[in-house]
Amino acid sequence: MPPARPSGKSALAKGKFVMKKGVLKRLIGILFKNYTGLVTVIALCIILSAVAGSVASPFLQEIYSAIAKGTSGEWSASGAWNTVLAYLSVLAGIYVLGLLANLLMGQISAILTQKFLADMRNKVFAKMQTLPIRYFDRNTHGDIMSIYTNDIDALRQLISQSLPQICSTAITLITLTFSMLYISALVFGIVLVGVVFILFVTKTVGSRSARYFMAQQRAVGRMEGYIEEIMHGQKVVKVFCHEDATIADFNAVNGALSDVSYKANAFSNMLMPIIHNIGNILCVAVAFIGCAIAVNGGYNVGFKSLFETGSFAAAMTFPTVFALLGAARQFANSMGQVSGQINSVIMAMAGASRVFDLLDEPSENYDGYVTLVNVFVNGNGELEETTERTGIWAWKHPHGDGTTTYTRLEGDIVMQDVDFGYVPEKIVLHDVSLFARPGQQVAFVGATGAGKTTITNLLNRFYDIADGKIRYDGININKIRKKDLRRSLGMVLQDTNLFTGTVMDNIRYGRLDATDEECIEAAKLANAHDFITRLPQGYQTMLVSDGANLSQGQRQLLSIARAAVADAPVMILDEATSSIDTRTEALVQKGMDSLMKGRTVFVIAHRLSTVQNSDVIMMLDHGRIIERGTHDDLIAKKGEYYSLYTGALELE
């Protein structure tokens, strides 16, 4: 069912998200720590390029002075020309050096950017594999996908362009500052007033833009999550003629994104023209004041005068004004370039914040010191560990005194007084106690939401119990390492999940070291071999889109074959035959009987015909076991199970 229709005036639209502190510092820290060599080369190139692009003013002043002296007759024409050529040659050499630095920086920056993005995606994906099921319950798949695409891609612009541009501009501004102080400290004071005003405008407008860009990233994730959900449920949408309502829902989600994007870009686009025009005004002020001083015979104050005449004060000349005018314009343009990168920086910080949020999520706790190992029985009748696959499993239990004991895996499971809630304030299982002896088949029946699947989730430790104990072969499952615990449990779920790959690959997913022959035997056991051989390429037929080229029953048969090849001593069958027709169910049941032989099996089913032969049937209602016994016992009691079996009770 599509989510409730969102309001266009949500928190996203109001731009209330605040960017977390320290995101940029953390990002730069990663760059310097993991890519020191590349960052160092880029930093040197940035310095060379920035300095080369900002040292023109002193040279231009000397060139203007030489031209003025040559035209006034103070110098000879040849002397003035030689001086101009000398300064132009040095300036050209500096520019060539800056060009080479820029070319090298571009190549190294491309390498750094792609390497960083690839490593970041690897980190995010690796982290995702460690997250508990609870994380995926509370976050839409589309929103998580947007972290890989939208958010990480925002970092590309930051690393490849924005950060180098900002660093280059910072060095340019520092160089220009010293250049202007060298030529005229008086005029630099005028420029400084303009810079303060530019910074004020940038902070005022940029901070508002930042809030909305942060909200925009979250709105994109929400929209992608909604699209993913609707694509997944497209058949349901069409069956119930929900197209118009779905379009309306999407329009609301898209409207929220459009609203925050408009506000973010409105503030951002406003910033560049404002700063550009402030820069123009600044240049006019420098030209006006400089020319006024020169025309009226005023004095200039600068370090150049100090070095040449021994005094800070010297006559203001028109070459000096021209040089200062060029420096002031370059200074203002550099400030404008920084403001032009604010968009990218804010979007990258918003994206980085979401990436770091995922990386900072608490990983699933895989604690436990009891592990699952292969063993064989030695000549003394004792269990001995081996690296070979023997078909005999044991729990390896190290003790504090340095000794190690091995307990053969039998599949003896006991739940004692278990309470559980997906959220602490809402308990869904109440005082559940049960046991399953090795080789027994335990069935759970009851209405949807009664707690049947929840019990099996607790056996896998997808969630941890709030109170009580669960013991596995006499060992508290909290002491068993989760990966070893889950390796001992085979599962066939109601919702099949097949992956892109061949039929053989999907069966082998149950045990990656299984041979082709073992996979084929597992398929025969699940009665899947017959239909597989009729596929175009048999076991090498490619499956895509969760096995969309197979029927639901065929997909379920492959899921059962995958569990069979895992050869786990305990099986959990959660509505395993619910998607299979009656004829196919009869075939599967025969294979299931072989699969369950000698194993402890937990069965969840609505079709009571599939659980009648169970050793014990548990009737659940609202998280409590209200009846238990064999099929005949429960029929004889004429209670809830009897009413359900005879049709007097409906599962509601």
DSSP letters spanning 33-91: HH-HHHHHHHHHHHHHHHHHHH-HHHHHHHHHHHHHHHHHTSS-HHHHHHHHHHHHHHH
Residue of 308 and 188 predicted with greater confidence: 188
Which tokens sit at 567? 């050869």
Whether 10 shows a pLDDT value over 50: the answer reads no
d(CA 128, CA 359): 8
d(CA 84, CA 75): 12
Residue 18 — very low, low, confident or very high, per pLDDT cuts 50/70/90? Answer: very low
Q: Does 3.40.50.300 match the CATH number of domain 413-646?
A: yes
CATH label, 21-359, candidates 3.10.560.10, 3.40.50.920, 1.20.1560.10, 3.40.630.10: 1.20.1560.10
What percent of the chain is helix, strand and coil (3-state, nearest 5)?
A: 60, 15, 25
Range 154-166 average pLDDT? 84
> What pLDDT, on a 0 to 100 scale, did the predictor assign at position 582?
67
d(CA 439, CA 442): 10
Whether 467 shows a pLDDT value over 80: the answer reads yes
d(CA 26, CA 502): 42
- The residues pairing with 280 across neighbouring beta strands, listed in sequence order, are none
- For the chain, the C-alpha Rg in angstroms (whole number) is 37
Q: Are 147 and 218 in contact (CB under 8 A)?
A: no
d(CA 590, CA 402): 47
Residue 14 — very low, low, confident or very high, per pLDDT cuts 50/70/90? Answer: very low
320-355 residue pLDDT tens:
777 777 777 777 777 777 766 777 787 788 788 889
Among 442-451, 458-467, 577-586, 617-626, the minimum mean pLDDT is found in 577-586
Which is nearest to 274 in space by CA: 326, 339, 196? Answer: 339
d(CA 508, CA 519): 6
Residue 239 — very low, low, confident or very high, per pLDDT cuts 50/70/90? Answer: low
Range 546-568 average pLDDT? 83
- Count of other CB atoms within 10 angstroms of residue 35: 19
Q: Is 393 exposed, middle or buried (0-12, 13-18, 19+ CB in 10 A)?
A: buried
φ and ψ at 94, to 5 degrees?
-65, -40
d(CA 302, CA 397): 81
SS3 412: coil
Torsion on CA atoms 373, 377, 383, 385, rounded to nearest 10:
-40
d(CA 497, CA 548): 11
Q: What is the mean pLDDT of the chain?
A: 81
Range 181-203 average pLDDT? 78
54-75 residue pLDDT tens:
777 677 767 877 787 777 777 8
Whether 125 shows a pLDDT value over 80: the answer reads yes
Q: Are 51 and 170 in contact (CB under 8 A)?
A: no
Half-sphere exposure of residue 96: CA atoms within 13 angstroms, side-chain side: 6
Q: Are 383 and 408 in contact (CB under 8 A)?
A: yes
φ and ψ at 434, to 5 degrees?
-160, 165
497-540 residue pLDDT tens:
888 889 999 999 888 888 999 999 989 888 889 889 999 999 99
Q: Where are the domains of the chain?
A: 21-359, 371-408, 413-646
Q: Using alpha carbons, list the distances in angstroms from residue 500 to 183, 215, 534, 614.
A: 68, 35, 19, 36
